Chains A and B, each alone.
Chain A
């Protein structure tokens, strides 16, 4: 039986979801379907940076706050079910970005399992669900589906074509049309309210800020140019900031934001011989990001 279990797990890991008929019903099943651990055999540097990224803990929230917990608890949000066992995929609109693979590869049983894990505050289980390599380099890699078709099951999409890719299932790399464009990130780091849900949800508005308040003022850089600069020759898949690393984040904020402070003290005169002792503090804050700060 143990051997059989191992076989099933290995099978799940090896078969990409697009080739797999069944939908995931548990956290472990979905995590296994999108597991990218084998990528580190050849891409150790990139994988190591990604492992410390928020993409690698997309359901954990900033500083491991399990931000979706209110959705699983009765009465706390319009989406919350009476009982976590009644949760469905529709209970969690946040899956759209925080776990997009759930919408194509999991069913309502998974949502109920996830809801129960949230109520139990089971961080060990929830942390298995991640925005893995497969999510960005396959599932979310194509947005022009009418023109280019859906992502191919055996293809990963990157910054260049690679004829042969040494992997059991993703045997080719194709150049993705948007991998170096801001809209790749903008799919999730969004525009504003998501009105397609029965109740609107407004999370990140970073891409909206980028489009309407950075490009409009003459900005020309893509997200990747700042957030995925090369580290040791590879695009940085930490995609900083990492809010769990306060020192590293402070360094980024210092590089991005400047503050000038000017002070003066004098006796202010409004009417004859009625001086008022006054100190004036003038502050000027500037930032050089391609979006408002803060946003996400």
Chain B
């Protein structure tokens, strides 16, 4: 998720990762690969019959009253650069009326 000013300057960027996370139980290093994983230590995946709700609070820099917010939900395949973008929602959000 990002928030940018009208001239394209990024004022906020964050990510949430929804998936199981595993180690080999011999160290605390997270591992990928079935042949080395042993046990999940955390599961942030999307679960059936459950809503994954997030709240992002973005404090804007002085003088910024309007930002373009982009929320992108992606399914990554093997590596971060290889993904399917499921949804991309763009909103202009202003503090002024």
Contact = CB atoms under 8 A, between A and B. Distances in A.
Interface string A237-267: 0000001001001100110010101011111
B91 A257 contact: no
Interface stretch (A26-34, A168-176, A284-292): A284-292
A27 B43 CA distance: 38
Given A243-B77, A277-B59, A286-B51, A265 B93 contact: yes
B95 A277 contact: yes
B28 to A, nearest CB: 16
Contacts of B55: 280-282
A284 B54 CA distance: 7
B81 interface: no
B50 to A, nearest CB: 8
B48 A77 contact: no
A291 B48 contact: yes
B57 A280 contact: yes
A65 B43 CA distance: 25
Interface stretch (A16-24, A103-111, A136-144, A213-221): A213-221
B20 A205 contact: yes
Nearest to A290: B48
A285 B59 contact: no
- Which one of A77, A217, A292 has the highest number of Cβ atoms from chain B below 10 Å of its Cβ? A292
Contact of A193 (B1, B39, B54): B39
Contact of A285 (B39, B73, B95): B73
Contact of A217 (B3, B49, B71, B89): B49
Interface in B35-49: 35-40, 43, 45-49
Interface of A: 62-63, 65, 70-71, 77-79, 93-94, 193, 199-205, 209, 213-214, 217-219, 243, 246, 249-250, 253-254, 257, 259, 261, 263-268, 276-295
